[in-house]
Amino acid sequence: MAYFTQQLINAITLGAIYGLIAIGYTMVYGIIGMINFAHGEVFMIGAFISLIGFMICSLLGIGSAPVAIVLVLLIAMAFTSVYGWAIERTAYRPLRGSFRLAPLISAIGVSIALQNYVQLVQGARPKPGGQIVSGGFNLFSLDGFDVRVSWLQIIIVVVTIVLMAGFAWLIARTSLGRRQRACEQDIKMAALLGVDVDRTISLTFVLGAALAAVAGMLFLMYYGVIDFFIGFLAGIKAFTAAVLGGIGSLPGAMLGGLLIGLIEVFWAGYFSSEYKDVAAFSILVLVLIFRPTGLLGKPEIEKV
Amino acid sequence: MAPRAIAMLKDAALTALVTAALGIFIVGFRTIDVGSRTGLSFDYELTDLAVAVIVVFLGRLGLSLAAAGLRWPVIALGVVMVAAGVSPMKLPSGFLHWFVALGGALLVLRGIWPWADRAVAVASHTSGGRLVQEIGAKWLGWALLAVAVVLPFTPLADQKTMDLGVLILTYVMLGWGLNIVVGLAGLLDLGYVAFYAVGAYAYALLSTQHGLGFWAVLPLAGMLAATFGILLGFPVLRLRGDYLAIVTLGFGEIIRLVILNWVDFTNGPAGIGSIPGPTLFGAVFAETAPAGRQTVAEMLGIPFNSNHRLIFLYYVILVLALITNLFTQRMRRLPVGRAWEALREDETACKALGINPTNTKLTAFAVGAMFAGFAGSFFAAKQRFISPESFTFIESAIILAIVVLGGMGSQVGVVLAAVLLIGLPEWFRELGNYRMLAFGLAMVLIMVFRPRGLIGHREPSIRLHPVASAGSG
């Protein structure tokens, strides 16, 4: 039981990170119907900017962890969203109206280019991030097994919940959210009614990238090590989460993230850690075969 | 003129600002390992960043000028940048010189583009130009084939060239195989390398553990890969295009991870070594034959030369690739091939006309997988050593890039793209690490500027009512 609870806590932490990345996939898919294959790389860049941000903070002598975290969070969100914006502007926007697979192929190109760009300028070796937050407390003990919750895990879950709440508010209440929902329903009609579609799509990419940057920072803090290749696996798993929850649905993305976190952690904990990625990929395949609309998604009707 | 100039400057400044924002952390602060346990420290690369920002500023300005029709200033700017790039000016890295010069070269190109474009358009309307075009369309493939056949007999054929030739032909074959799936049937397959891996491991395991020869395993490997294609394809082929892409990516990764982790069966990350090469009528390519065998040199009564093996491999892959091509060309004229092309254009219409989309897609998937299996066997026989590292996603992406650059559906285009994407980087080894970066950028640029590839081919192979001067490839 204690082991189970411990795994559950770890799974929720991991799921929160996947959920944050998954939102980027789901939003973009909801609005322009493309899989932003490069989103995993945006997450990786967010992690790198966070790493460099933390190092600058320690150079400047900012000793207090909360201040450093908030500062780095803001920096990473701001500068990673420039990447999201620039990718959309240069690699996807010119392709609107091209053939169906064009944006996906372009996204694969962006993904390869970004990976190698970071490898070139930052080196291929894994980068240790150091420990920014340490410590924790024992939740309870059972049969000599301590169930521990670290402060870090609490920070990750709290940051995720706060951001999700803010994000839900943004979509439901602000004019930007209204424009986004309008574009999601019918992009042509929205344009006819005076919604600036290009701007809305740009902002969608910016928001997705900002959330991916947060996920990158949390990932860095949680695992302590990053390299230029983390975006590939994390991206695919987050995409799986988005599909599992129902692509296009924001609560679905969060739910899917949690489920993927649970599956991965429990598979590694109870079966074998070598095959945990296989388990995640198999889930993706199974969901797409048996329930392509996901858990919370709406069925897609193809009109001719 | 003045407000326009100001607008251009503003635009260029904004672009430069965005570049600065993109680069400030990732490029400006290079994290480097230091020996101690604390981990990392910084190298400040702010000069690199500044140069990049200036190049982007000038580049953007040049593009706006070109768009406004001011060609001479653009060309002048480009020439100045090229000169700055090749000058012995002090820049922190050789790459920056390249970067500046390349930016300048692109500007010059952009400056003369309208003239070149018009010149080509005019030339293609003269009778001579039309003749060249016709010959190009009809005979380019044959010319390439002739070059490929005689290459080993020319003085060019040293070991390096032959190695490269084998490599390029392998990718040509893979490209042609994937072309059936992506180019003809319109299914984006991101896990193509999985079937390549199946073929390679089939030969490696059957030959090292059961002593089967290359020619016996080749059809088996193809069939095995095709079976995998059907098994994997059957459940997923009713998915829409981009979902299919991700699922095939997932399958590719699953197969790689299984190969990596199933150590008892595949020897895991250590790979399989000492795989025998292909034989010629039972004779082996080696200096001394194993017991009961004969070397090729003895059989033909010629002195031993280590290049013979390479030349033989070259012809094997050439023949395999040609079979792939011939098969595809034939299939395109059969009902199923026509159904592939129809399916690519409009799935709903196909359904309405009574074409079973799942079966049709499945054939394309299986046929494509089969050729990947052949190529995989050949790869194992050529390398004599395989490990899961050869079958990563990036391989799938490279093959896809070849098909996309070639112009989806065009057979000659695949050859040109393979020579361009595989051959050029091998010749220019200095490109080194920048190779994959250029690769990714090239994929984006092709999609933006030339989504139909080098040789766009979207004409149906067969028309009901032949149109006058319809091109075919």
Chain A positions in Cβ-Cβ contact with residue B250 (cut-off 8 Å):
236, 240, 281-282, 284-285
Distance from the Cα of A273 to chain B's closest Cα (Å) equals 10
Q: Examine residue B418 and state whether it is found in any structural domain, yes or no.
A: yes
User: Are the Cβ atoms of A108 and B250 closer than 8 angstroms?
Assistant: no
With beta carbons less than 8 A apart as the criterion, state whether B218 and B395 touch: no
Q: What is the pLDDT of residue B92?
A: 67
- pLDDT tens, position by position, B52-76: 888 888 888 888 888 877 778 888 8
Q: Examine residue B58 and state whether it is found in any structural domain, yes or no.
A: yes
- pLDDT tens, position by position, A32-75: 888 888 999 999 999 999 999 988 888 888 778 888 899 999 99
Does B407 score more than 60 pLDDT? yes
Residue with tokens 């280019």: A113
Chain B positions in Cβ-Cβ contact with residue A284 (cut-off 8 Å):
246-247, 250
The domain total for chain B is 2
CA pair distance B217, B212, nearest whole angstrom:
7
- pLDDT tens, position by position, A253-282: 999 999 999 988 988 888 877 788 888 888
Q: What is the pLDDT of residue B469?
A: 46
DSSP per-residue string spanning B222-239: HHHHHHHHHHHHHHHTTS
Q: Which two tokens stand for residue B20?
A: 């600065």
What are the beta bridge partners of residue B43?
B30
Mean pLDDT score of chain B: 82
Residue from A32, A121, A228 to probe the interface with B (highest B Cβ count within 10 Å):
A121
Contact A58/B at CB under 8 A: no
CA pair distance B471, A131, nearest whole angstrom:
64
Mean pLDDT score of chain A: 87
Shared domain for B266 and B414, answered yes or no, is yes
Distance from the Cα of B164 to chain A's closest Cα (Å) equals 24
Please tell me which of the candidates A116, A123, A240 has its beta carbon nearest to residue B436.
A116
Domain end among B88, B119, B150: B119
Distance from the Cα of A192 to chain B's closest Cα (Å) equals 26
Q: Examine residue B287 and state whether it is found in any structural domain, yes or no.
A: no
Q: Examine residue B183 and state whether it is found in any structural domain, yes or no.
A: yes
Q: What is the pLDDT of residue B471?
A: 42
User: Which candidate, A256, A106, A148, places its Cα nearest to that of B245?
Assistant: A106
Shared domain for B75 and B148, answered yes or no, is no
Residue B177: band (very low, low, confident or very high) from pLDDT cuts 50, 70, 90: very high
With beta carbons less than 8 A apart as the criterion, state whether A121 and A114 touch: no
User: Are the Cβ atoms of A130 and B39 closer than 8 angstroms?
Assistant: yes
Shared domain for B180 and B321, answered yes or no, is yes
Q: ipTM of the predicted structure?
A: 0.86
Of chain A, the percentage scoring pLDDT greater than 70 comes to 98
In chain A, whose CA is at the least distance from the CA of B187? A101
In chain B, whose CA is at the least distance from the CA of A104? B242
Q: How many residues are listed for chain B in this entry?
A: 473
Q: Which domains does chain A have, with CATH numbers?
A: 2-124+150-290 (1.10.3470)
Average pLDDT estimate for B177-195: 89
Does B468 score more than 60 pLDDT? no
Shared domain for B312 and B401, answered yes or no, is yes
Residue from B31, B41, B243, B450 to probe the interface with A (highest A Cβ count within 10 Å):
B31
In chain A, whose CA is at the least distance from the CA of B432? A120
User: Are the Cβ atoms of A122 and B26 closer than 8 angstroms?
Assistant: yes
Shared domain for B243 and B354, answered yes or no, is yes
Chain A positions in Cβ-Cβ contact with residue B190 (cut-off 8 Å):
108
Q: Examine residue B457 and state whether it is found in any structural domain, yes or no.
A: no
Burial (CB count <10 Å: 0-12, 13-18, 19+), residue B159: exposed
Chain B positions in Cβ-Cβ contact with residue A53 (cut-off 8 Å):
25
Shared domain for B107 and B152, answered yes or no, is no
Chain B positions in Cβ-Cβ contact with residue A105 (cut-off 8 Å):
188, 400, 404, 443, 447
Q: Examine residue B161 and state whether it is found in any structural domain, yes or no.
A: yes
User: Are the Cβ atoms of A104 and B250 closer than 8 angstroms?
Assistant: no
With beta carbons less than 8 A apart as the criterion, state whether B378 and B223 touch: no
CB pairs A-B closer than 8 Å? 184
Shared domain for B98 and B152, answered yes or no, is no
Residue from B96, B178, B182, B242 to probe the interface with A (highest A Cβ count within 10 Å):
B242
User: Are the Cβ atoms of B242 and A120 closer than 8 angstroms?
Assistant: no
Please tell me which of the candidates B32, B236, B261 has its beta carbon nearest to residue A275.
B261
Does B369 score more than 90 pLDDT? yes
Chain A positions in Cβ-Cβ contact with residue B404 (cut-off 8 Å):
105
Shared domain for B163 and B209, answered yes or no, is yes
Average pLDDT estimate for B278-299: 70
User: Are the Cβ atoms of A111 and B440 closer than 8 angstroms?
Assistant: yes
Shared domain for B206 and B334, answered yes or no, is yes
Average pLDDT estimate for B25-42: 73
| Secondary-structure percent of chain B, ordered helix, strand, coil, rounded to 5 | 75, 5, 25
Shared domain for B151 and B114, answered yes or no, is no
Pairing of strands A145-150, A225-226: unpaired
With beta carbons less than 8 A apart as the criterion, state whether A223 and A263 touch: no
More confident residue, B407 or B472: B407
In chain B, whose CA is at the least distance from the CA of A78? B21
Domain end among B58, B87, B119: B119
Q: Examine residue B220 and state whether it is found in any structural domain, yes or no.
A: yes
- pLDDT tens, position by position, B423-443: 777 666 666 667 788 888 888
In chain B, whose CA is at the least distance from the CA of A237? B250
- pLDDT tens, position by position, B64-108: 888 877 778 888 888 888 887 777 776 667 677 777 888 888 888
Does A230 score more than 60 pLDDT? yes
Shared domain for B234 and B344, answered yes or no, is yes
Q: Which two tokens stand for residue A5?
A: 């609870």
Residue with tokens 């070796």: A125
Domain end among B89, B119, B149: B119
Domain with B227 in it: what CATH number? 1.10.3470
Where do the DSSP E strands lie in A151-268? 225-226
- What is the residue range of B237's domain? 141-271+307-449
Please tell me which of the candidates A101, A122, A239 has its beta carbon nearest to residue B30.
A122
In chain A, whose CA is at the least distance from the CA of B250? A281
Q: Examine residue B462 and state whether it is found in any structural domain, yes or no.
A: no
Shared domain for B107 and B159, answered yes or no, is no
Average pLDDT estimate for B365-394: 91
